[in-house]
Amino acid sequence: SFKSPKTAFTFGVLDHFHIDAVECKTAVLNFYSKLRRITDNAFPDRFPDRYQGLMRVSRQWQDLKSRKWFGFGHNPDVEPGKGGLALFCAACPQPGINLLEDWKEDPNQWMYRRIIVADGNFSLDHMKMKKNPGEVALTNGEGYTVESGAYETYLKAVKEVPLKSKCVNHRAISQANSNRHNLDATGVGACTCARHGCFVPHCVVDFQKGERCSILLESY
């Protein structure tokens, strides 16, 4: 617990695991097994099990570093807000960041136009899992993914219109109209800037049934 900690992980170990996870796609269990073998390759099972602790601390460590990088690490009373822990495209026009103060007076307004495109991946299915009441989201709408509460409210209120196709077997439409009760997400959709391919903060959503989704796009 936070009041009486009994286990500690060094910053070096947490950074090492983060690089391994990003570059080598290393799972937590494999990384923990590697640590035990580095410590004692002959008898790695004689050490206490710290697998669950490493999973929890690694997520907290990444969240703390993100908040520090974006200026929220030393003031817990200030919340990042929607998309506050994500970077927008540095080359796209952003008032107050990379534009002059009198940019609205420029007759060539086409230079300041943003072009946003949306696309999705229908192969990223996610199975329904048992809800754990003790689970707490470290970031909810503060990164690239939309806020779950507002998105679920919209999906409950929106009226779904079944797609129809004149083709004999159109895979995308057939997939959209199929019932898959064992999945809580049938894919992922996102928005990016068309010029540079950078993701837009607070715009990534889970598809609930085929292409059924809503892009909750903030002003960036």
What DSSP assignment string belongs to 161-175? -----SSS--HHHHH
- Looking at per-residue pLDDT, the higher value among 123 and 171 belongs to 123
Question: Distances in Å between the alpha carbon of 97 and those of 88, 89, 91, 142, 149?
Answer: 11, 11, 10, 20, 30
Question: What is the pLDDT, as a whole number, of residue 178?
Answer: 55
Q: Taking 80 as the threshold, does the pLDDT of residue 219 lie above it?
A: no
Quick one: how far is CA 5 from the chain centroid?
29
% of the chain residues with pLDDT over 90? 33
At 214, the pLDDT band (50, 70, 90 cuts) reads very low
At 32, the pLDDT band (50, 70, 90 cuts) reads very high
Most confident residue range from 72-86, 131-145, 147-161? 72-86
Domain segments of the chain: what residues?
11-69, 103-207
pLDDT 10s digits, 61-109: 999 999 999 988 887 788 888 999 999 998 999 888 889 999 999 999 9
Question: Distances in Å between the alpha carbon of 173 and those of 162, 163, 178, 179?
Answer: 9, 6, 9, 12
| H or E, element range at 15 | helix 11-23
Question: What is the pLDDT, as a whole number, of residue 211?
Answer: 54
Say which amino acid occupies 161: V
Phi and psi of 127, rounded to 5°? -75, 150
Alpha carbon distance 36, 46 (integer Å): 9
Per-residue tokens: 212:
């059924």
